[in-house]
C-alpha cells in the first residue's frame, strides 16, 4: 500500500514575471490518500470526481496497463484558495507512479495532470514546504504578455527561486467566509485571459518589496517586516486583479475580514489566490487564539464561515511505501540564513 500525506498552501501574491508567485505551505487542512494495486481503476472516499480525473490523466499520459484502488480519506476544501487541486493531482500521480515503479519527477507528474502551468507554489509546497518564491514565466518572447501561459504553449513548471523555512511561532489565522467558492476552471481561464498587462512600475514595486523587505524578513525572523510587505503586495496585486474579480478582493466580505484582521493587530493580512479564504499573520498561540475568537464573532453578522489557525509546514509531502516513511523533502533553504 502507498500512503500520501500532504497539506494546503496559502498564496501570498504575484511578482513581476507572468504569474510569478509567492506562497507558503501550511500544516492544515490535510490531504490523505491511500492506494493499492488493482486490476482496474477503483476510486472511493472523498472527491471521487477529481481523483478519477487526475488518475485517468496520469494513466493515459504514461500508458499504464494496470489499475489501482484509490481512497481519499481526508481532503482540502475545494476552490476556496488553499490549493486543493494541485495537491490531489500530485498525491494521485505520486501514488500511481510508486505502484507502477515509474521513475518520474514531481514536475512530470504535475504537467501530466495539467497543473503548475500558471504557478509553481503548489508543486514546491508538495516537494519542499516552507516559504516559496517561483520565477513565473518569461514574457519577452510572447507576442502578447497579457495572454495566458497555456495559450503561449508553455509546457514547463515555473522555476523555484527561493524556498526557506518559516518560524513555527508564526501563526496564520485563516477564515473562509460562507460566500461560495472562488473562481476556478473555465471561469479562471477566462479571468486570466481578460487581465490587463501589468505596468513595469507595478512589477518594480512588487519586486522591490519581495527582494528588499519580504525575503530578508523571512530569513531574519522579522514578522513585522514580513507582514508589512505581504499586506502591501496584496493591495497592489489586488488592484491589478480588480477588473476580473470585481474589486481588490474576491468579495466584499473577504475585504472586510482583511481590514478587521489588521485592525485587531495582525502583522499582515491578505487573500489566498482567488479566495474567498483570507488570513492574518500573528506571533504565538495566545494571540492566534484571541484573533480566532474575534474573527468568529465578526463573521457571525456576515453570514458565518469557517475560522481556523494554521502554521508553516517546513517539509514536503510524506509518503509511506509498504510501511516505510519517506518525506519528499525537508525543505532546505535556497537562500542564506541570517547570522
Does the residue 338 lie in any domain? Answer: no
Residue 337 lies in a domain: no
Q: Looking at the structure, tell me whether residues 10 and 140 fall in a common domain.
A: yes
Residue 46: per-residue pLDDT: 98
Sequence-ordered strand ranges (E) for the chain:
2-14, 21-38, 41-45, 67-74, 131-134, 160-164, 170-177, 268-271, 278-283, 305-310, 318-321, 324-327
Give 206: exposed, middle or buried? Use CB within 10 Å, 0-12, 13-18, 19+. Answer: buried
Q: What is the pLDDT of residue 190?
A: 60
Domain contains 295: yes
Mean pLDDT computed over 25-33: 97
Are residue 21 and residue 74 in the same domain, yes or no? yes
How far is residue 325's CA from residue 318's CA, in Å, rounded to a whole number?
7
Residue 186: predicted pLDDT: 61
User: How many residues are given for the chain?
Assistant: 339
144 domain residue, yes or no: yes
Q: Tell me the per-residue pLDDT of 51-65, one tens digit each, with 9 for 90 and over.
A: 999 999 999 999 998
What is the CATH classification number for the domain harbouring 270?
3.30.70.890
Domain that holds residue 178: 167-311
Asked if residue 248 belongs to a domain, the reply is yes
Are 16 and 77 in the same domain? yes
Query: Roughly how many angstroms between the first and final C-alpha of the chain, as a whole number?
Result: 44
Number of domain units in the chain: 2
Q: Does 105 fall in a domain?
A: yes
Co-location of 54 and 197 in the same domain: no
pLDDT at 22: 93
Distance CA 291, CA 288 (A): 5
Q: Looking at the structure, do residues 155 and 183 belong to the same domain, yes or no?
A: no
Give the pLDDT confidence of 227-284 residue by residue, as tens digits.
Answer: 999 999 999 987 766 666 666 787 899 999 999 999 999 999 999 988 899 999 999 9
27: domain CATH number is: 3.30.230.10
Residue 186 and residue 65 in one domain: no
Q: Over the stretch 173-230, which tens digit does the pLDDT of each residue have?
A: 999 998 766 555 566 556 555 566 667 788 889 989 999 999 999 999 999 999 999 9
- Which three cell numbers mark 37? 494495486
Sheet holding 268-271, edge to edge: 268-271, 278-283, 170-177, 305-310
Whether 33 and 22 share a structural domain: yes
pTM of the model: 0.87
96 and 8 in a single domain? The answer is: yes
Neighbours of 263 (CB within 10 A): 12
Amino acid at each position: 500500500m502507498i500512503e500520501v500525506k500532504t497539506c494546503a498552501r496559502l498564496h501570498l501574491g504575484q511578482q513581476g514575471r507572468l504569474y510569478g508567485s509567492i506562497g507558503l505551505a501550511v500544516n492544515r487542512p490535510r490531504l490523505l490518500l491511500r492506494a493499492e494495486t488493482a486490476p482496474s481503476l477503483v476510486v472511493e472516499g472523498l472527491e471521487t470526481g477529481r481523483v478519477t480525473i487526475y488518475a485517468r490523466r496520469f494513466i493515459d499520459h504514461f500508458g499504464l496497463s494496470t489499475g489501482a484502488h484509490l481512497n481519499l480519506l481526508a481532503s482540502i476544501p475545494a476552490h476556496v484558495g488553499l490549493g486543493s487541486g494541485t495537491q490531489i493531482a500530485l498525491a494521485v500521480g505520486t501514488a500511481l507512479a510508486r505502484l507502477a515503479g515509474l521513475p518520474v519527477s514531481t514536475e512530470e507528474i504535475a504537467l501530466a495532470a495539467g497543473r503548475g502551468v500558471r504557478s509553481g507554489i503548489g508543486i514546491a509546497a508538495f516537494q519542499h514546504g516552507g516559504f516559496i518564491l517561483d520565477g513565473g514565466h518569461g514574457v519577452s518572447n510572447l507576442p502578447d504578455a497579457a495572454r495566458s501561459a497555456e495559450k503561449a504553449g508553455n509546457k514547463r513548471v515555473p522555476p523555484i527561486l527561493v524556498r526557506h523555512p518559516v518560524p513555527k511561532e508564526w501563526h496564520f489565522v485563516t477564515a473562509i467566509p460562507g460566500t461560495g467558492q472562488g473562481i476556478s476552471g473555465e471561469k479562471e481561464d477566462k479571468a486570466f485571459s481578460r487581465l490587463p498587462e501589468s505596468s513595469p512600475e507595478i512589477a518594480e514595486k512588487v519586486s522591490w518589496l519581495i527582494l528588499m523587505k519580504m525575503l530578508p524578513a523571512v530569513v531574519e525572523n522579522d514578522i513585522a517586516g514580513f507582514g508589512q510587505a505581504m499586506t502591501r503586495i496584496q493591495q497592489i496585486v489586488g488592484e491589478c486583479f480588480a477588473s476580473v474579480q470585481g474589486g481588490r478582493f474576491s468579495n466584499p466580505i473577504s475585504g472586510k475580514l482583511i481590514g478587521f484582521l489588521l485592525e485587531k493587530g495582525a502583522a499582515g493580512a491578505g487573500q489566498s489566490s482567488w479566495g474567498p479564504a483570507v488570513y492574518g499573520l500573528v506571533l504565538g498561540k495566545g494571540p492566534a487564539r484571541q484573533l480566532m475568537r474575534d474573527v468568529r464573532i465578526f463573521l457571525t453578522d456576515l453570514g458565518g464561515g469557517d475560522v481556523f489557525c494554521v502554521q508553516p509546514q517546513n517539509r514536503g509531502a510524506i509518503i509511506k511505501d509498504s510501511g516505510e516513511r519517506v518525506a519528499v523533502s525537508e525543505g532546505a533553504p535556497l537562500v542564506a540564513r541570517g547570522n
